[in-house]
Amino acid sequence: MAVRRYITAIEFNDFNKNQRQLIGILNHNMTKLTTDVQWLKKLNGYQIAIIGGIFVTVVCGFIKLAFF
């Protein structure tokens, strides 16, 4: 990985160049991050399914107690 050095922002063009470099670096890091957390998304899906199942069971239990 190449080491990038920022320049001092004396003129607007220098500032613009710094911002574009920073945005490029952050976009690259975020793109790389999304591929590394796929297992976390899958785990989140399982947790939502389990909590949803518990919620439906509890609601059905209350309905059964209230009407039957």
> What is the separation of C-alpha 44 from the centre of its chain, rounded to a whole number of angstroms?
12
Q: How far apart are CA 13 and CA 51, in angstroms?
A: 53
- 60 occurs within a structural domain: yes
- 5 occurs within a structural domain: no
Q: Please give the pLDDT value at position 58.
A: 97
Full residue range of the structural domain in which residue 52 is found: 41-68
Q: Please give the pLDDT value at position 25.
A: 79
Which mean pLDDT values do the consecutive 10-residue runs of the chain (68 residues) have? 63 79 76 69 95 97 90
Q: Side chain identity at 38, as an amino acid letter?
A: Q
- 17 occurs within a structural domain: no
> Can you say whether the dihedral through the CA atoms of 23, 29, 34, 37 is positive or negative?
negative
Q: How far apart are CA 20 and CA 9, in angstroms?
A: 13
- 7 occurs within a structural domain: no
